[in-house]
Structure 1
Amino acid sequence: MSDIEIPDADTPEDRKIQEPRLWRDDGWSARVIKNEDDDGWAVEMTQEGQSEPALVGPWTMGRDKKNPKPLDPPAFHTLVKTANEVLRRHEQQLHATLHKSVKIDAAEGRVTVKLDIVPEEDEPYAVLSAYDELGEKLAEIRVSPAYKLSVQRASDWAAGGFGNSG
């Protein structure tokens, strides 16, 4: 057997950095920076390929109370976990903003009415759709992305035969 160390295939050695104030690994960079708001330090976590950090937070002072504590493996892994959680929450919030639904009782039975906003840069729009209890589409129309879905509006739309959105 050879004692030659094989670099991690996912992280080329020239991309991996482990310095006291800069770590790059696992698709993330952690950089300790001067805190603009006070005399302390902050750390910013930036995902590879992104220009803006996903997370910026306070960083611990070192023993000399002037310089920052150096980054280390446990701190880096905690920061990666926290930054991934921030991104996951942001995605969930965005999804909740773009996709809403209400359930109503209509002549067709229990109906789910959905509003899906399509945030296209040039011409954003939304799609209002209705589905029966089996998931079969009853109706679909295009509406303004500013359309506010409510039980009352969905009920009115169903009562009107799923014509215009009102």
Structure 2
Amino acid sequence: MPEQDQAIFEARLWRDKGWTAKVIKNDDDEGWAVAMLKDGEPEPALVGPWTMGRDKKNPKPLDANAFGTLVKTASEVIRRHEQQLHALLHKSLQLSTDEADYKIMLDIVPDEDDPYAYLSALDADGAELAKVKVAANYKLDRKNALRWIENEFRRPD
């Protein structure tokens, strides 16, 4: 069993079900913080303040309830980040012409060296009518979409 799969339940370190919670000294003040790290990720999904213990010097120990809440909160942060990224990379609009109704989509591929995007058109039944490669900074708006349709779905300049 790999080390990261083994559950750990210590006062300042919990690891279970794909998550690690680690209580750390808060460098910004005299308090404590907790970092939530999802297995396989290089950076914490969440870092937040942690409660002081009764002695007002050491951190409160982690427990099952706190860990569960932290996992839920960190999962929500990741979910919102993924939704935001999806919204940035995938845009669409609906439009109608005298001939037909269309759904025009722009799907950006964030390649580190050479980002690009696919511009595609679907008919009212969801069948793909056209798909062309465009620059990642292509502006999908009503005007450009109508121009693309009028141009018989030829690749925009």
Is TM-score (shorter-chain normalized) higher than 0.5?
yes
Q: 1:120 aligns with which of 111, 124, 132?
A: 111
Tell me which stretches of 4 or more aligned residues in structure 1 moved more than 4 Å: 10-14
Deviation at 1:51, TM superposition (A): 2.0
Which residue in the other structure is 1:74 paired with? Answer: 65
Q: In the aligned structure 2, how far is the partner of 1:45 from the partner of 1:16?
A: 15
Runs of 5+ consecutive residues of structure 1 not aligned to the other structure: 1-9
Matched residue of 1:156: which SS? Answer: helix
Instruction: Give the conservation status (yes or no) of the 8 Å contact 1:20–1:70.
Output: yes
User: SS at the partner of 2:84?
Assistant: helix
2:121 to 111, 127, 130: 130
Q: Deviations over 1:119-146 (max 9, x none)?
A: 2233221000111101111211110001
Q: 1:120 to 1:14 in 2, by over 3 A?
A: closer
Question: Using the alignment, how far apart are the partners of 2:116 and 2:144 within structure 1?
Answer: 18
Task: Kindly report the root-mean-square deviation, in angstroms, between the aligned alpha carbons of the 2 structures.
Answer: 2.0
Deviation for aligned residue 1:106: 2.2
| Percent of residue pairs bearing the same amino acid type | 59
- CA separation in 1, counterparts of 2:2 and 2:116? 41
Contact 2:35 2:47 in 1 (8 A): yes
In structure 1, how many angstroms separate the alpha carbons of the residues matched to 2:153 and 2:7? 57
TM-score, normalised relative to structure 2: 0.92
Q: Contact conserved, 1:11 with 1:26, CA < 8 A, in 2?
A: no
Is the counterpart of residue 147 in structure 1 residue 138 in structure 2?
yes
Bigger Rg, which one: 1
Q: How many residues align?
A: 157
Confirm or deny that 1:22 pairs with 2:13: yes
- Counterparts of 1:32-47 in structure 2, within 5 Å, are 32-47=23-38
Q: Give TM-score, length-normalised by structure 1.
A: 0.87
8 Å CA contact retained: 1:111, 1:130: yes
Alpha-carbon distance between aligned partners in 1 of 2:62 and 2:4, rounded to the nearest angstrom: 18
